[in-house]
Amino acid sequence: MALVNGWLLPDTVKPVAERIHPRDITVFHGHINPEKVNFIEKMAIKNIVKKPFGDYRDWSTIVIWTTAIANTLMQAHSSTVWA
């Protein structure tokens, strides 16, 4: 795992991040795929966290973040088109 602004970036994502050099990386918590956690993790989630598996991401926050990216890209594009 690679460290990004204090967060661990999964090894599966690290090669992509190194290749494209993103300006920002954001993690949207709230989704746990039961097929990707082991038995101990499943028991901890069930008995300690007491949350069901599912998708509980804050979609309004995701939309705000992606809209900001789109706006930045449109501004960069419009400034290069007229430059």
DSSP codes, the chain: -EEETTEEEPTTTHHHHHHH--S-------EE-GGGS-HHHHHHIIIII---SEE---HHHHHHHHHHHHHHHHHHHHHHH--
pTM above 0.75, yes or no: no
Residue 2: per-residue pLDDT: 54
Asked whether residue 81 carries a pLDDT value surpassing 70, the answer given is no
Asked whether residue 83 carries a pLDDT value surpassing 60, the answer given is no
Residue 36: per-residue pLDDT: 86
For 3-33, what is each residue's pLDDT tens digit?
556 667 788 888 898 899 888 888 788 888 8
For 33-78, what is each residue's pLDDT tens digit?
888 889 998 888 888 877 778 888 899 999 999 999 999 999 988 8
Where do the structural domains in the chain lie, given as residue ranges?
A: 2-58
